[in-house]
Amino acid sequence: MLIKFIVKNIFSFNEETEFNLFPNKTQRLLHHKINIKKIEILRLSAIYGANGSGKSNLIKSISLLETMIIDGKIIKDLDDIKFKLNPENKDLPISFGIEFYSQNIIYYYTLTFDREIILNEALYESLPKTDRLIFERNYINEKQKINFSKKYTSNEKNRLFVEILEEKLIQKNELLLSFLNAKYEKEFNEVSNAFNWFQKDLVIIRPEAKPSGIAEILDKNDKLKLFSVDLISNLNTGISNLFIKKEKFNDFIEDINKPQIKQLIEDIKTRKNNISLRNSETDEEMTLIYEENEIYVKRLITNHLNNFGNPIEFSLALESDGTKRLIDYLPAFNGIINENKVYIIDEIERSIHPITIKKILSKISTDEKAKGQLIFTTHESNLLDQDILRPDEIWFAQKDIDGASKLYSLSEFNIHNTANIENGYLNGRFGGIPFLSNLKDLNWNKYEISE
């Protein structure tokens, strides 16, 4: 579970800005509240705002932190990602803070960095009265100083290790969280648990993202495939079934003796997972896999019924953008229902009909057995329904007079449990919408191009 995320001086965020999943006293959809160590956390959240308000920048910020942790290093080029509308921010560091629940521990991780130097990095266990230090690392007077909890520095050998770590082992741009996980996983099990949350339990889906190897994913997971067929066939897409077509590479490719084809085959054989992804000329994704001493091509095929009720095969390339997007979401929708993971989706409604996305999210919202957490950005106002989202699950992004993004929750307003939130939002009561009052005065006829 994600509990809160704090960011400062990155993209459109100037001052310290917080997004969290703490509930208020609303009595609606009580099953959306999960009790973790006497702390209540929400399992759903939607973020609204006009174009350019900062919604996607929040997701980009979380994604950047995830990427740096998995890669083990901070990024080099910061000038274009710092808040640019205040010249002073160019000389200020970027800061992240994130609180999350994993393996029965609530962690709080912070990272502050600038110009290829990590200025501060810390990992704590969040406790009701006082946080427990796991590690803290500071860069002061051109030297690194690292502190661990007494659990890790209880003897002279461990204290010597810390000194060597400070002076020799870890570089100024390397994340200590990632370094300890990679080199000393068994010795620092709490650190590894925190790292694994970013690597395995946090799933971020950007608008242009696609699940790599969807054919292989469905082929190797029978339950996911059955879930996918059940869902997609009930969404009025015309698809009656999904199946994986598996063909020998030799039969699929006309000229197997081309040098580039031979090289491709050798590359697949030497890959760790023996898998390679390729797109056809029609932009259909193909999974090439080496198994049983043979190269195979796997493709996801859809079935549509003709006027006699017989199934007709379609390649995925023939489906609409909206249908492709729904198919891309199938692993995520299954995960939200059946896995203890956090799914963050930017522009969840992209290419999908408003009624379809509302029905899907309503189904997720009312499922009291759902295990996952879903956070998404959207422009789709018909999701502003108190039967789908609690008021404390609805957030808005809006830029202030200085061009900096601010985040605030609908729970800051006095909302009656029968109020029509969608109408209030579209009428500008809560902010988070574009203000186009000057558009009516725009004289665009003056730009007519004379022949």
| 159-217 pLDDT tens trace | 899 999 998 899 999 999 999 999 999 999 999 999 999 999 999 999 888 777 889 89
CA angle 240, 220, 185 (to 5 degrees): 140
- Structure confidence at residue 415 (pLDDT): 85
In the predicted model, is pLDDT for residue 255 greater than 70?
no
CATH number given to 1-207+346-444: 3.40.50
Q: What confidence category does residue 261 fall into, taking pLDDT thresholds of 50, 70 and 90?
A: confident
In the predicted model, is pLDDT for residue 383 greater than 90?
yes
Count the Cβ atoms, other than its own, within 10 Å of residue 93.
Answer: 19
Structure tokens at 63: 């994604």
Q: Could you tell me if 98 and 121 are in contact, meaning their C-beta atoms sit under 8 angstroms apart?
A: no
What percent of the chain stands above pLDDT 90?
72
Distance of CA 401 to the CA centre of its chain: 29
- Structure confidence at residue 243 (pLDDT): 94
- Structure confidence at residue 310 (pLDDT): 97
* Range name among 17-26, 111-120, 411-420 with the lowest pLDDT average: 411-420
In the predicted model, is pLDDT for residue 254 greater than 70?
no
Helices 176-183/189-196 angle, 10° precision: 110
In the predicted model, is pLDDT for residue 268 greater than 70?
yes
Non-local CB neighbours of 254 within 8 Å, separated by 6+ positions: none
- Structure confidence at residue 286 (pLDDT): 83
Q: What confidence category does residue 451 fall into, taking pLDDT thresholds of 50, 70 and 90?
A: low
In a 3-state reduction of DSSP, which class is residue 440? Answer: helix
Q: Could you tell me if 96 and 13 are in contact, meaning their C-beta atoms sit under 8 angstroms apart?
A: no
Alpha-helical regions (H) of 145-258: 156-164, 176-183, 189-196, 214-220, 222-232, 249-252
Amino acid at 314: F
Non-local CB neighbours of 126 within 8 Å, separated by 6+ positions: 99, 106, 107, 108
Alpha-helical regions (H) of 339-433: 354-366, 421-426
In a 3-state reduction of DSSP, which class is residue 45? Answer: strand
Mean pLDDT confidence for 363-385:
97
Measured CA distances, 187 to 102, 175, 191, 428, 435 (Å): 18, 17, 9, 54, 55
The mean pLDDT value of the chain amounts to 92
- Structure confidence at residue 257 (pLDDT): 60
Q: Could you identify the residue written with the tokens 């002073």?
A: 88
Count, in order, helices (H) and strands (E) of the chain.
11, 20
In the predicted model, is pLDDT for residue 108 greater than 70?
yes
Every domain of the chain with CATH number 3.40.50 lies at 1-207+346-444
d(CA 288, CA 294): 10
Give the strand order in the sheet containing 405-409. Answer: 202-205, 342-345, 373-377, 44-49, 394-399, 405-409
In 93-223, beta strands by DSSP E: 94-102, 105-114, 117-125, 132-140, 143-148, 202-205
Write the pLDDT tens digit of every residue in 418-429: 889 999 998 888
Closest to 112 in 3D by CA, of 141, 136, 85, 79: 136
**Bigger pLDDT: 111 or 275?**
111
Q: Could you tell me if 11 and 57 are in contact, meaning their C-beta atoms sit under 8 angstroms apart?
A: yes
Closest to 421 in 3D by CA, of 375, 386, 387, 392: 386
In the predicted model, is pLDDT for residue 97 greater than 90?
yes
Mean pLDDT confidence for 395-413:
95
- Sign for the pseudo-dihedral over CA of 116, 119, 124, 128: negative
Structure tokens at 308: 């006699």
Dihedral Cα 246, 247, 252, 256, nearest 10 deg = 120
Closest to 267 in 3D by CA, of 255, 279, 275, 259: 275
Mean pLDDT confidence for 321-340:
95
Mean pLDDT confidence for 111-130:
95
* Range name among 43-52, 157-166, 246-255 with the lowest pLDDT average: 246-255
Mean pLDDT confidence for 334-355:
96
d(CA 361, CA 388): 7
**Bigger pLDDT: 297 or 18?**
18
Q: What confidence category does residue 368 fall into, taking pLDDT thresholds of 50, 70 and 90?
A: very high
Mean pLDDT confidence for 151-161:
84
d(CA 101, CA 202): 11
**Bigger pLDDT: 282 or 384?**
384
